[in-house]
């Protein structure tokens, strides 16, 4: 072991579990204590202000300026009493992370001291000079103004000593520059469309909310070891590293006993989450060594997404306290599973009905089938777009590998629901189909269908979009993603589908058809039309790929090309008719995605070049020189045979030569790609000519790792990185 590596491995072994910060007492004592929630509002706001604010929150309307000052005053008092001295608008720019710029609560009064200052104006809206956030050309430098505006539907909270106010981030000309604006718009669109469809079944429904339950997967590595892996530090993944002889083959990590150091970290993290009102619920070891998962109880989608964004930030902070680094990269290590973020998605009415779950009455079940069919039909029509919502330079390593959903979107429904749809689809128009009073699905000619029950057992882990009894689970998302992106797409396409459905059913009703008959007729058409999206088999198999191509599903797997789906004419039309994105916004966002793709690959290429030429090749040469010296000396003594050493030298020669040759190629490819002005073309060039070399170079580096003296190998090996205790 090299001295540095030895020191770091030694440090890692000696890192002990850090003392946990969690106080005694019940979680209910501290749950949401750092959130300006309804309880806090009631306490810190006067009755009238509270009532107006509540209404604003429920309607997702902007806060009237008249009450903004009193809300701000109450919020400031609460925040200061809870240890805050700064405030910030907290938003989600297209970098993928969150942004904050802290301001002190006090301002100079011009007479040598300070006045506490936090007006309604500062709470509600701020101009931001943040012209260096990605904006895809929407804000060129002379129109560099943008502003952030409070989203009262997500409560303010305190992190450390800063009051964080969730805000949207908009260009001066009104275009969205973040994830929250389109997410909120998509929630409005689906609320509108779904409520109208609900009225076929229940006139009392006034609102339909979207729910999101995410499951966050992540890796932990020891901080000392992380610090001597430039690839982990700078790209979040290992660009090289031979597989450990033992990794996940024995399946002994999944749901196994959680290492002591990790449990301390998790408890601290959960405590922080609970104080921030994040309803964390589940924690466990994941499949790969050092891989874990955290899942909360699902919440309204906008809040759930803020909570996930917040979680990713605090995870990182808490991990450092525990001398870990948290890796949210989708594929930090080759040869073992990567990390995703499942998005569990459902719709619920203000009358308490989950539209994605079988109901208690025949009407509820017809309603459920209606929504379910609309969802899969939407997913069918926009399967390429849904894929576009989760592709990235980092998730590309995961999709299509035999562990994560394939890079083809299909829907799994399970045998029961599939059976119902198949029967509906063969119904003749004059058949009488209905759910009878006992909730049994009946059709003439088919005497009996089992009642629908919640079916949680029929799981298909290989499906990217699976119905799991009372929700759909979209599993293709990456661990580092902002969930808003897939949620925006899913909400919008389902809203568009429901709108179309309503229009056509209404036309049939106006033409004299009975309502239920019209609904069935339309559903039947849709079930037949979207059959291709339904796939209950093994999504990892090669046959599926060929089959999916035959079915006309989107099988493209080059990230830059998949992103084209955002700009398909019918997509642009769909988003704009749903009021979610304008063409300009879509173009800008696609631009940002291509640019981000290029930059990530560019950084990886640089780090790889640096590692191979500064770390690996020199060490290989040193070992080679030792061998050469030995062979030379051996040749001086008659009767000694140096053949196997010569073979070894040849191998090293071969691998280093290949590495050097391809490293040069890598530089050349970048030189060629860099001057390309068009972001799409540039991303394609990076994908086709730069990224393709990574695995080939790595192959030779990993071969060298196998044969070079362990005493001098510079980088911590997988077996050292991967087994926390
Ligand atoms: P699994 O790993 O088996 O999928 P988990 O318990 O880890 O199951 O995660 C299930 C996730 O689904 C949780 O976040 C949970 O809150 C969420 N969930 C459960 N019911 C719903 C629902 N109706 N709508 C949205 N999310 C839901
Ligand atoms: Mg799940």
Structure tokens at 344: 């569990």
- Assign residue 414 a region: left if phi > 0, alpha if psi is -120 to 50, beta otherwise? left
- In 83-161, beta strands by DSSP E: 86-90, 103-104, 106-108, 114-116, 125-128, 146-150, 157-159
pLDDT band at 286 (very low <50, low <70, confident <90, very high): confident
Q: Calculate mean pLDDT across residues 301-326.
A: 97
pLDDT band at 450 (very low <50, low <70, confident <90, very high): very low
Q: Greater confidence, 113 or 267?
A: 267
Which of residues 37 and 250 earns the better pLDDT score?
37
Per DSSP, the residues of 155-214 read --EEETTEEEEEEEEEETTS-B-BSHHHHHHHHHHHHHHHHHHHTTT-TT---EEEEEEE
pLDDT (tens digit per residue) in 174-198: 899 999 999 999 999 999 999 999 9
Pocket test for ligand 1, best of 213, 343, 476 (most atoms within 8 A of CB): 213
Ligand 1 centroid, distance to 270 Cα (angstroms): 18
Of 516, 518, 562, which is closest to residue 409 (Cα–Cα)? Answer: 562
pLDDT at 436 over 50: no
Residue nearest to atom 1 of ligand 1 (CA): 215
pLDDT of residue 437: 45
Say whether pLDDT at 542 is over 90: no
Q: What is the pLDDT of residue 136?
A: 80
- Structure confidence at residue 444 (pLDDT): 40
In this prediction, residue 405 has a pLDDT band, given cuts at 50, 70 and 90, of: low
CA dihedral 310, 313, 315, 318 (to 10 degrees): -120
Query: How far from the centroid of its chain's Cα atoms is residue 472's Cα?
Result: 16
Distance of CA 379 to the CA centre of its chain: 18
More confident residue, 162 or 399: 162
Ligand 1 pocket, 215 CB below 6 A? yes
- What pLDDT shows up at residue 449? 37
CA distance 417 to 231: 46
**342 Cα: distance to centroid of ligand 2 (angstroms):** 6
Would you state the pLDDT for residue 25? Answer: 86
Is ligand 1 within 6 A of the CB of residue 295? yes
Residue from 519, 497, 492 nearest 378 by CA: 497
Query: Average per-residue pLDDT in the chain?
Result: 90
pLDDT of the residue at 131: 66
The percentage of residues in the chain with a pLDDT greater than 90, rounded to a whole number, is 70
- Rounded to the nearest 10 degrees, how much is the dihedral formed by the CA atoms of 14, 15, 17, 23? 140
* The two structure tokens encoding residue 185: 């718009």
The secondary structure element, H or E, covering residue 510 is helix 484-510
Pick the range with the lowest mean pLDDT from 120-129, 166-175, 192-201: 120-129
Cβ–Cβ under 8 Å, residues 409 and 387: yes
What is the mean predicted confidence (pLDDT) over 88-92? Answer: 94
In the prediction, which pLDDT does 426 show?
Answer: 83
pLDDT 10s digits, 230-242 = 999 999 999 999 9
Could you tell me the pLDDT band of residue 143, with boundaries at 50, 70 and 90?
A: low
Rounded Cα distance between 398 and 337, Å, is 8
**pLDDT the model gives residue 144:** 65
Q: How confident is the model at residue 448 (pLDDT cuts 50, 70, 90)?
A: very low
Tell me the C-alpha to C-alpha distance, in Å, between residue 533 and each of 231, 492, 545, 548, 662.
Answer: 39, 18, 13, 9, 41
CA distance 221 to 320: 10
- Does the Cβ of 344 fall within 6 Å of ligand 1? yes
Is residue 360 predicted with pLDDT exceeding 80?
no
> Which is nearest to 540 in space by CA: 713, 446, 407, 365?
407
Share in percent of the chain as helix, strand, coil (round to 5): 50, 15, 35
Beta strands in 276-417 (DSSP E): 280-285, 291-296, 299-300, 324-327, 341-349, 411-412
């Amino acid at each position: 072991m090299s001295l540095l590596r030895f020191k770091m491995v030694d440090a890692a072994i000696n890192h002990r579990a850090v003392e946990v910060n969690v106080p005694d007492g019940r979680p209910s004592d501290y749950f949401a204590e750092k959130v300006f929630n309804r309880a806090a509002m009631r306490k810190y706001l006067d009755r009238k202000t509270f009532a107006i604010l509540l209404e604003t929150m429920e309607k997702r309307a902007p806060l009237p300026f008249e009450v903004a000052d009193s809300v701000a005053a109450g919020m400031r008092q609460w925040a200061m009493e809870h240890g805050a001295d700064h405030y910030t608008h907290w938003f989600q720019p297209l970098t993928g992370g969150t942004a904050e710029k802290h301001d002190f609560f006090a301002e100079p009064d011009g007479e040598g001291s300070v006045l506490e200052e936090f007006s309604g104006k500062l709470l509600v809206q701020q101009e931001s000079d943040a012209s260096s956030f990605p904006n895809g050309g929407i804000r060129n430098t002379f129109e560099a103004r943008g502003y952030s505006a409070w989203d009262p539907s997500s409560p303010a909270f305190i992190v450390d000593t800063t009051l964080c106010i969730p805000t949207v981030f908009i260009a001066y000309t009104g275009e969205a520059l973040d994830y929250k604006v389109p997410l909120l718009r998509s929630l409005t669109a689906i609320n509108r469309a779904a409520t109208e469809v609900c009225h076929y079944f229940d006139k009392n429904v006034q609102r339909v909310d979207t729910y999101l339950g995410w499951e966050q997967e992540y890796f932990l590595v020891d901080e000392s070891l992380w610090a001597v892996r430039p690839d982990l530090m700078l790209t979040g993944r290992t660009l090289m590293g031979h597989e450990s002889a033992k990794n996940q083959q024995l399946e002994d990590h999944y749901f196994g006993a959680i290492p002591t150091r990790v449990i301390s970290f998790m408890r601290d993290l959960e405590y922080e989450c609970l104080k921030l009102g994040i309803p964390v619920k589940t924690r466990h070891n994941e499949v790969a060594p050092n891989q874990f998962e955290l899942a909360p109880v699902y919440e309204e989608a906008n809040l759930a997404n803020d909570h996930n964004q917040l979680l990713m930030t605090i995870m990182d902070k808490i991990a450092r306290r525990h001398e870990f680094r948290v890796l949210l990269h989708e594929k930090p290590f080759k040869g073992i599973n990567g990390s995703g973020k499942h998005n569990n998605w459902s719709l619920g009415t203000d009358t308490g009905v989950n539209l994605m779950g079988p109901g208690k009455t025949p009407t509820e079940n017809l309603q459920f089938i209606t929504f379910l069919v609309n969802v899969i039909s939407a997913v069918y029509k926009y399967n390429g777009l849904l894929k576009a919502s989760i592709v990235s330079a980092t998730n590309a390593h995961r999709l299509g590998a035999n562990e994560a959903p394939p890079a083809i979107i299909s829907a799994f429904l399970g045998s029961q629901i599939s059976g119902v749809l198949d029967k509906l689809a063969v119904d003749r128009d004059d058949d009488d189909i209905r759910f009878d009073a006992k909730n049994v699905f009946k059709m003439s000619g088919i005497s009996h269908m089992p009642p629908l029950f919640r079916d949680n057992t029929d799981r298909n882990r290989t499906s990217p979009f699976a119905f799991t009894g009372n929700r759909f689970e979209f599993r293709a998302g990456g661990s580092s993603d902002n969930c808003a992106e897939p949620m925006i797409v899913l909400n919008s396409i389902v809203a568009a589908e429901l709108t179309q459905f309503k229009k056509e059913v209404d036309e049939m009703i106006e033409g004299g058809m009975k309502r239920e008959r019209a609904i069935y007729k339309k559903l039947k058409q849709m079930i037949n039309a979207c059959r291709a999206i339904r796939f209950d088999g093994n999504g990892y198999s090669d046959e599926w790929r060929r089959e999916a191509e035959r079915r006309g599903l989107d099988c493209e797997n080059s990230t830059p090309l998949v992103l084209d789906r955002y700009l398909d004419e019918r997509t642009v039309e769909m988003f704009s008719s749903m009021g979610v994105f304008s063409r300009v916004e879509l173009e800008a966002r696609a631009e940002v995605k291509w640019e981000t793709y290029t930059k990530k690959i560019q950084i990886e290429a640089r780090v790889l070049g640096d590692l191979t030429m500064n770390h690996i090749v020199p060490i290989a040469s040193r070992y080679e020189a030792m061998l050469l010296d030995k062979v030379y000396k051996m040749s001086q003594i008659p009767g000694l045979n140096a053949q196997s050493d010569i073979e070894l030298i040849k191998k090293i020669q071969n691998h280093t030569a290949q590495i050097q040759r391809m490293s040069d190629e890598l530089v050349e490819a970048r030189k060629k790609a860099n001057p390309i002005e068009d972001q799409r073309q540039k991303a394609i060039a990076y994908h086709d000519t730069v990224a393709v070399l990574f695995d080939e170079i790595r192959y030779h580096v990993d071969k060298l790792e196998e044969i070079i003296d362990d005493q001098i190998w510079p980088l911590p090996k997988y077996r050292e990185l991967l087994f926390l205790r």
